[in-house]
Amino acid sequence: MVGIAHSDIIKAPKVLLHDHLDGGLRPGTIVELAAAVGHELPSTDPERLGEWFVAAADSGSLERYLETFAHTVAVMQTEEGLHRVAKECALDLAADGVVYAEVRYAPEQHLEGGLTLDQVVEAVHAGLREGSAEAAANGTPIRVGTLLTAMRHAARSQEIAELAVRYRDTGVVGFDIAGAEAGFPPTRHLDAFEYLQRENFHFTIHAGEAFGLPSIWQAIQWCGADRLGHGVRLVDDITVTADTPSAPTATGGTQAAPPVLGRLAAYVRDKRIPLELCPSSNVQTGAAPSIAEHPIKLLHDLRFRVTVNTDNRLMSGTSMSREMTLLTESFGWGWAELQWLTINAMKSAFIPYDERLVLINEVIKPAYAKLLA
């Protein structure tokens, strides 16, 4: 089968639900901002610095992967820094053909220069607005909402949840928790999640990335997460016996037993809980052995509500188009699968239902209809 060209995937409309603002900076911007604030970097050559991030994040451990964020968070402590990074984020996603994105970051990590939480949020929103306006003028319109993240090892989740609700009508579309997963279960932040539920607000939880089923189970059944950030380890609750012939067929052959879903995996599939899968990131942190062996294939075949995401474009040297290209190369997927992933993501977005429908019916479906023709 002839694959789809990366350049064509760039032109197709894409939807991104899991992208960290502090994981997507342009290396050249880090160099310039670091010089302005006197932060020392592993390299001041943008190309080398970009390579350094990918190599350092390629660590096989989430904890070591997260250490690289010290260099991005350090240059995002002023209104100017935050504004520029947010503006470039909108421009870069739009140039890659992303038409709708939910970009997340942890406001509590951007207070070292004396900004308040509200000033951080407003600087990011102003940057995203400017970037989106410029992208529209360039002929690549994009809508970007933000998710406010609380760090799971810290104790500010209630405050961040309240901040998210305060800005729900001016750009914040949801809430999240992130950071090291092992040892920091989502139930530590139950108060924040219960508050968000009382406010009829939306949230996702990083779960099932560096820790397994108990984390996913808590995120859904204790905390009430609308979506799972990664959730890739849900496959631990799916028994695949592909090579074990089970039943004889009418022609005398044997038929492989279908995968068996445990109670949690079945619940996630039945309830159509979206999985924000991030293939390249998962390989770097050791959550998946390779793209070719990534559980996204199995989860797709079993018709889970799968979405594909970048997580951290800088640390993975990636983009939405690149993640999709890797999937087409690894699994022979074509436009039908890419449309399915895109519509899954748009259906799972945190903006109102009628606004999701407009993007599906007026932007995504017409574009893929042409590509499929």
List of residues contacting Zn ion (CB under 5 A): 311
Per CB under 6 A, 76 contacts ligand 2ND: no
Q: Which stretch binds ligand 2ND (CB under 6 A): 16-24, 76-84, 124-132, 289-297?
A: 16-24
Per CB under 6 A, 179 contacts ligand 2ND: yes
Q: How far apart are CA 129 and CA 126, in angstroms?
A: 5
Least distance to ligand 2ND, CB of residue 72, Å: 7
- Cβ nearer to ligand 2ND, comparing 105 with 193: 105
Per CB under 6 A, 104 contacts ligand 2ND: yes
In the set 77, 146, 204, 281, which binds ligand 2ND (CB under 6 A)?
281
Q: Which stretch binds ligand 2ND (CB under 6 A): 91-99, 103-111, 128-136, 360-368?
A: 103-111
- The question of whether 181 is a catalytic residue gets the answer no
For residue 65, what are its two tokens? 């992967």
Helix, strand, or coil (residue 75): coil
CB atoms within 10 A of CB 250: 6
Of 53, 348, 46, which is closest to residue 204 (Cα–Cα)?
348
User: Residue length, the chain?
Assistant: 373
Helix, strand, or coil (residue 371): helix
- Give, in order, the Cα–Cα distances in Å from 113 to each of 28, 34, 41, 121, 356: 21, 13, 18, 14, 37
Residue type at 282? N
Q: How far apart are CA 150 and CA 161, in angstroms?
A: 8
Q: How far apart are CA 335 and CA 158, in angstroms?
A: 42
Residue sitting closest to ligand 2ND (CB): 178
Residue type at 132? S
Is 300 annotated among the ligand-binding residues?
no
In the set 10, 14, 16, 23, which binds ligand 2ND (CB under 6 A)?
23
Residue type at 172? V
Instruction: Name the binder of 106 from ligand 2ND, Zn ion, none, CB < 5-8 A by kind.
Output: ligand 2ND
CA angle at 65 for the pair 274 and 145, rounded to the nearest 5°: 40
Catalytic residue among 102, 209, 276, 323: 209
Is 311 annotated among the ligand-binding residues?
yes
Torsions phi, psi of 2, nearest 5? -80, 130
Residue with structure tokens 């939910």? Answer: 102
Instruction: Name the binder of 66 from Zn ion, ligand 2ND, none, CB < 5-8 A by kind.
Output: ligand 2ND
* Contacts to ligand 2ND from residues 114-153, by CB under 6 A: 149
Q: Which stretch binds ligand 2ND (CB under 6 A): 9-17, 44-52, 65-73, 135-143?
A: 65-73
**C-alpha torsion sign, points 265, 235, 343, 340:** negative
Q: How far apart are CA 112 and CA 105, in angstroms?
A: 15
In the set 12, 74, 103, 105, which binds ligand 2ND (CB under 6 A)?
105
Q: Which stretch binds ligand 2ND (CB under 6 A): 20-28, 88-96, 248-256, 362-370?
A: 20-28
Annotated binding-site residues read: 18, 20, 22, 179, 206, 311
Q: Footprint of ligand 2ND on this chain (CB under 6 A)? A: 20, 22-23, 62, 66, 69, 73, 104-106, 109, 149, 178-179, 206, 209, 281, 311-312
Q: Which residues are catalytic, by number?
A: 209
Annotated binding-site residues for Zn(2+) read: 18, 20, 206, 311
